[in-house]
């Protein structure tokens, strides 16, 4: 258990595309953003964020939300939501030193899709705006809480245990 | 190959490193030079915060202080 990453994620799509996604995701055609690259994107534990993204960002006419259960060994995950950065830090440094004429996403995708590097997913916290943290003081100690959703970019179908349309 | 094996090989096998650099440099980015400059600036800020956060959590403080100094200078 301790060496695995588990998550439930939600993916919003136009209802026309649901049958083809459920029959097999084509990761090659899913162009992504500059940081996470191409892949199949999920909002972790957030049906609402998936729905809102489909509605306001993509303006899909008829929205379907897909439920996806994933499980993966941590050694195959780039997890930017934890403070135990190791390989994540090293890859950022490698990009900066040698590959800064590509985006980080392009760099990672090249390694995944052309050099068979086992990165199955990238995980990052997506805040809707800059200041979404607030400080709670309790005597001498203090804690910064934040609100935001976690975005997961799946690079292949290996971590997918289950995928289905939310009824 | 898993991620840690790749990182080790990249930094210990000179031929492998050169091959990766040459192969990737042969690819063209989908983004403009200005977009890449802005992207790299954001990545630097993100990386800086990562390192700062690790120092504040007292993980490898000495080596990371040096890394941050390098980042600030560059």
User: Residues A163, A22: contact at Cβ < 8 Å?
Assistant: yes
Taking chain B, what is the end-to-end CA distance rounded to the nearest angstrom? 32
For residue B12, give every residue at least 6 positions away whose Cβ sits within 8 Å of its Cβ, in sequence order, or none.
Answer: none
| Segment A3-32 mean pLDDT | 92
Contact: B27, A88; criterion CB under 8 Å = no
Both structure tokens of A106: 């392009």
Residue in A86, A105, A144 to test binding to B, most B beta-carbons within 10 Å: A86
Q: What is the pLDDT of residues A75-129, one digit of tens each?
A: 999 999 987 788 999 999 999 999 999 999 999 999 999 999 999 999 998 887 6
The ipTM assigned to this model is 0.83
**DSSP codes of every residue in A106-166:** HHHHHHHHHS-----EEEEEE-SSS--EEEEEETTEEEEEE--EEEEEESSSTTEEEEEE-
Q: What is the mean pLDDT of chain A?
A: 91
Contact: A117, B1; criterion CB under 8 Å = yes
Chain B within 8 Å of A98 (Cβ-Cβ)?
A: yes
Chain B residues whose C-beta sits inside 8 Å of any chain A C-beta: 1-4, 6-7, 10, 20-21, 23-25, 27, 29-31, 35-36, 39-40, 43-44, 46-47, 50-51, 53-54, 57, 59
Local confidence band at A21 (pLDDT 50, 70, 90 cut-offs) = very high
Question: What pTM was estimated for this model as a whole?
Answer: 0.87
| Segment B5-28 mean pLDDT | 94
Interstrand relation of A121-126 and A141-146 (parallel, antiparallel or unpaired): unpaired
* Integer Rg of chain B from CA: 16
Both structure tokens of A84: 């135990």
CA nearest A90 in B: which residue? B7
CA nearest A81 in B: which residue? B50
Quote the distance between the C-alpha of residue A148 and its chain's center.
13
Q: From the CA of B4, how many Å to the nearest CA of chain A?
A: 6
| Segment A51-58 mean pLDDT | 88
The residue with greater pLDDT, A48 or B57, is: A48
Residues from chain A contacting residue B22 (CB–CB below 8 Å)? none
Q: From the CA of B3, how many Å to the nearest CA of chain A?
A: 6
Place of tokens 């976690």: A150
In chain A, what are the domain boundaries? 4-165
pLDDT of residue A46: 94
Contact: A90, B53; criterion CB under 8 Å = no
Q: What is the pLDDT of residues B30-61, one digit of tens each?
A: 999 999 999 999 999 988 888 877 666 655 55
Burial readout B24-63 (b: 16 or more C-beta within 10 A, e: otherwise) = beeeebebeeeebeebbeebeeebeebbeebbeeeeeeee
For residue A73, give every residue at least 6 positions away whose Cβ sits within 8 Å of its Cβ, in sequence order, or none.
Answer: A3, A4, A5
pLDDT of residue B74: 60
User: Residues B65, B55: contact at Cβ < 8 Å?
Assistant: yes
In chain B, what are the domain boundaries? 1-29, 31-74
Q: What is the pLDDT of residues A121-153, one digit of tens each?
A: 999 988 876 667 788 888 888 887 888 899 999
Chain B within 8 Å of A127 (Cβ-Cβ)?
A: no
CA A5 to CA A26: how far, in whole Å? 23
pLDDT of residue A67: 97
CA nearest B18 in A: which residue? A98
């Amino acid at each position: 258990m301790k060496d695995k990453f588990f998550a439930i994620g939600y993916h919003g799509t136009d209802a026309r595309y649901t049958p083809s996604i459920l029959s097999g995701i084509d990761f090659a055609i899913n162009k992504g953003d500059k940081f996470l690259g191409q892949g199949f994107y999920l909002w972790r534990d957030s049906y609402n964020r998936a729905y809102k993204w489909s509605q306001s960002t993509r303006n899909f006419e008829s929205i379907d939300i897909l439920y996806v259960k994933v499980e993966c060994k941590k050694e195959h995950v780039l997890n930017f939501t934890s403070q135990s950065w190791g390989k994540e830090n090293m890859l950022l440094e490698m990009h900066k030193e040698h590959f800064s004429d590509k985006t980080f996403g392009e760099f990672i995708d090249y390694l995944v899709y052309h050099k068979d590097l086992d990165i199955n997913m990238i995980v990052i916290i997506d805040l809707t705006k800059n200041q979404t943290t607030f400080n709670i003081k309790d005597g001498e100690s203090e804690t910064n809480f934040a609100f935001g959703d976690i975005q997961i970019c799946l690079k292949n179908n290996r971590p997918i245990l289950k995928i289905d349309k939310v009824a | 190959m898993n991620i840690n094996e790749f990182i080790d090989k990249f930094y210990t096998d000179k031929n492998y490193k050169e091959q990766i650099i040459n192969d990737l440099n042969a690819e063209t980015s989908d983004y403009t030079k200005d977009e890449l400059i802005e992207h790299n600036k954001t990545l630097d800020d993100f990386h800086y915060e990562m390192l700062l956060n690790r120092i504040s959590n007292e993980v490898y403080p000495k080596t990371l202080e040096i890394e941050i100094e390098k980042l600030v200078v560059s």
